[in-house]
Structure 1
Amino acid sequence: MKIAPIIHAIQKAKKSGEQIDYRLVHTGQHYDEKMSETFFKQLNIPHPDVNLACGGGSQAEQTAAIMLAFEKEILANPSDLVVVVGDVTSTMACSIVAKKLSIKVAHVEAGIRSWDCSMPEEINRMLTDSITDCFFTTSTLAGENLLNEGHKKEQIHFVGNVMIDTLRANESRFQQPEVWKELGLSPKAYLVMTMHRPANVDEEAKLKEFISSIDDNTNAMPVVFPIHPRTKAILEKAGIQMKNIHLVEPLGYLEFNYLVKHAKGVLTDSGGITEETTVMNVPCITLRDNTERPETIDIGTNELIGTDPKKIKPALEKLLAGKWKQGHIPEKWDGKAAERIVSILCHSL
């Protein structure tokens, strides 16, 4: 989702005569069909030049596997610059390998912070940014975070949000999923839910309390929950009975965002989804104690309610009563972030 618009912008720049080329490396970190291959197909991303097949294992095992494989890859195919995106294990691992080989690193979505080091993603962000040469940020606050960490102003480029580039480029292509007819859904008459963070889903008792609080307070409005198989297994083991929450298989990008766009609201513990709901003007309840994307709260449609299940009822009452706040779209979230990034890569580095 984050690399697609950059690839398309590079291809466009190359056709217009710019001296730029790329090699697309898929580490294999997200190896599930719905998490990887489907996105390549739906978002029209060229097949990767190589798949390092480093899926599975613990955090340490996966980091080590990616570093070993990427080192061989970059030695066999030298590069002037390694561009990494987001905050996954691959982002950190490939950055370390590149820097140790004296190759410059550019980080897309740099500088965002939750200040919560219990989150693996926060460690990935901080370590990656500590050795990055060129920072592409989604907000002015992200740039301020980087300046406060000692980075130079000329290294930081406020370009906007590539996730929104992808959203805008594909909004007209959103596809109604099969579950729409199966559940008899209609616009603004259902909720969408996602939950994947280990702190929320790995403890059976806590997950059960979350699910029960949501299920009991939707006023019989259906809740569509695309669920990871591991989380589904925990729910089944707990024997939780649900009357309004409907578990469905993970969805592709186009199908999932069709649901989000037409939903009454979203409940999530994801960061990226809060950006998409902000741009699509869909109310969003975030089940976390902190966020690395405060602009979705200060400017957008997101509200952070924490991880206390008791906070769910009043938040849902407010949302269902139509009393949710009106949001606005943050600066430079206009679908042109990748164009800015590639222009800087061509002319300023």
Structure 2
Amino acid sequence: MKIVTIVGARPQFIKCAPVSRELRKEHTEILVHTGQHYDPEMSEVFFEELHIPKPEYNLGIGSGPHGKQTGMILTKIEEVLLKEKPDLVLVYGDTNSTLAGALAAAKLHIPVAHVEAGLRSFDRTMPEEINRVVTDHISDSLFCPTENAVKLLAKEGITRGVHLVGDVMADVLEFNKTLAEKNSHIIETLGLEPGGYGVATIHRPSNTDNPDALSVIIRTFGKAEMPIVFPVHPRTRKYLKEYGLLGRMPTNVKIIEPLGYLDMIRLMGNAKKILTDSGGIQKEAYMLGVPCITLRENTEWIETLHDGWNILTGADDEKILSALMAPIPGKPQRNLYPAGASGKIRMLIRPGT
């Protein structure tokens, strides 16, 4: 089969790494990078570290308002699909690249496969929620990471082509965790004590586009009784500067540039707590056994909330501080995100899928 795989953002680069390795054992894969994430720290480094094949197409879309960005991706992907005439289009996650790729394929009557299908935060104010719901409803093969995802699809009337495969991010983590511990020197470079610091990431519009919310979060970081390492997303840096927060960062907050996958995994794996509004990092924290504080009111990864391993706080200073001071959960974690998904996906993708 000829498969066109569409990626465009950091989480998708991570997810496609093990799946592409598996697909290329039996199929021809054409990799399309939309350019939604285009900074070298958010794109090129992941292709290098995770040994992802060089994309056959880089659409160079860049950033922009949701409608404009989605429309431009849709237009350019349609051109690629008309040229390549694939048997299947594979999309990941919930970005504008996901939606545009799925929509372009569906309108050309090309089967769509969605990796990480069935997730729901039930917050329609989040563009990612709209993207994942629409993508699921126009996909032909839906590869779900958890039983809960399968159940949520069934509640929406989607039962055909649904497969419980496990989590491709677990595949990546399992493959690279030992490599990260061996080759990454980020902890030594930053002068950190393992288990004695926090890691923070912020990029959601609900936090970055709201000066009050972002100010509360940064101010509360300053009250943490430990260093907080803050790899800053380019978009977040822009808002920190615009709101005047960049120049008055608390002394315990260490701002650094975005990190590659191996450095980020080692940094998170040795942290005491992780603070984030990222869906993928919530899950990576869970897999790494590090308590997570989610700076949102909801999560699509509801399994991480079990036994206190993830606490939802939003941009509420009292809730964030309480979560920072909460003891490390004592109950053993359940293996909610099993590895092996990429191999199952390869076996499920057959001619006529």
TM-score (norm 2): 0.90
Q: How big is the shift at 1:256?
A: 0.8
Structure 1 residues 293 and 33, CA gap change in structure 2 (3 angstroms) = same
Pair 1:127 & 2:140 matched: no
Q: 1:186-225 alignment to 2 at 5 Å?
A: 186-216=193-223, 218-219=224-225, 221-225=226-230
- Equivalent of residue 50 in structure 1, options 48, 53, 57: 57
The equivalent of 1:174 in structure 2 is 180
Q: How big is the shift at 1:235?
A: 2.8
Pair 1:230 & 2:238 matched: no
The equivalent of 2:325 in structure 1 is 317
- Equivalent of residue 292 in structure 2, options 264, 284, 287: 284
Pair 1:345 & 2:349 matched: yes
- Equivalent of residue 64 in structure 1, options 57, 67, 71: 71
| Corresponding residue pairs, total | 336
- Equivalent of residue 262 in structure 1, options 251, 263, 270: 270
Percent of aligned positions with the same letter in both sequences? 43
* Cα deviation code 1:66-98 (max 9, x no counterpart): 111111100100011111110010110011110
For the residue of structure 2 that corresponds to 1:346, the secondary structure is coil
**For residues 144 and 178 of structure 2, what CA distance do their matches in structure 1 show?**
26
**For residues 65 and 190 of structure 1, what CA distance do their matches in structure 2 show?**
41
Q: How big is the shift at 1:58?
A: 1.1
**For residues 241 and 47 of structure 1, what CA distance do their matches in structure 2 show?**
38
Q: How big is the shift at 1:31?
A: 0.9
Structure 1 residues 256 and 274, CA gap change in structure 2 (3 angstroms) = same
Q: How big is the shift at 1:287?
A: 1.1
Structure 1 residues 249 and 121, CA gap change in structure 2 (3 angstroms) = same
For the residue of structure 2 that corresponds to 1:3, the secondary structure is helix
Pair 1:240 & 2:230 matched: no
Give the AA of the match of 2:314: G
Gaps of 5+ in 1: 15-19
For the residue of structure 2 that corresponds to 1:47, the secondary structure is coil
- Equivalent of residue 10 in structure 1, options 18, 23, 45: 23
Structure 1 residues 271 and 326, CA gap change in structure 2 (3 angstroms) = farther
Gaps of 5+ in 2: 1-13
**For residues 123 and 7 of structure 1, what CA distance do their matches in structure 2 show?**
26
For the residue of structure 1 that corresponds to 2:53, the secondary structure is coil
Give the AA of the match of 1:168: E
Q: How big is the shift at 1:343?
A: 0.4
Q: How big is the shift at 1:348?
A: 8.0
For the residue of structure 2 that corresponds to 1:116, the secondary structure is coil
Give the AA of the match of 1:232: R
**For residues 128 and 348 of structure 1, what CA distance do their matches in structure 2 show?**
20
Q: How big is the shift at 1:334?
A: 3.3
The equivalent of 1:250 in structure 2 is 258
Structure 1 residues 249 and 178, CA gap change in structure 2 (3 angstroms) = farther
The equivalent of 2:83 in structure 1 is 76
| Equivalent pair of 1:299/1:330 in contact (CA under 8 Å) | no
TM-score (norm 1): 0.91
For the residue of structure 2 that corresponds to 1:2, the secondary structure is helix
For the residue of structure 2 that corresponds to 1:246, the secondary structure is strand
The equivalent of 2:11 in structure 1 is none
Q: How big is the shift at 1:325?
A: 4.5
Pair 1:160 & 2:166 matched: yes
Structure 1 residues 232 and 56, CA gap change in structure 2 (3 angstroms) = closer
Structure 1 residues 341 and 95, CA gap change in structure 2 (3 angstroms) = same
Q: How big is the shift at 1:177?
A: 5.6
Give the AA of the match of 1:109: E
Structure 1 residues 125 and 240, CA gap change in structure 2 (3 angstroms) = same
For the residue of structure 1 that corresponds to 2:75, the secondary structure is helix
* Cα deviation code 1:146-188 (max 9, x no counterpart): 1111112x41100011111111111111166665334421210
Structure 1 residues 179 and 8, CA gap change in structure 2 (3 angstroms) = closer
Structure 1 residues 99 and 323, CA gap change in structure 2 (3 angstroms) = closer
Q: How big is the shift at 1:327?
A: 4.7
Q: How big is the shift at 1:57?
A: 1.8
Q: How big is the shift at 1:192?
A: 0.6
**For residues 298 and 243 of structure 1, what CA distance do their matches in structure 2 show?**
33
Give the AA of the match of 1:119: M
Q: How big is the shift at 1:298?
A: 2.4
**For residues 316 and 114 of structure 2, what CA distance do their matches in structure 1 show?**
34
Pair 1:97 & 2:98 matched: no
Give the AA of the match of 1:252: G
**For residues 267 and 253 of structure 1, what CA distance do their matches in structure 2 show?**
17
For the residue of structure 2 that corresponds to 1:24, the secondary structure is strand
Q: How big is the shift at 1:234?
A: 3.1
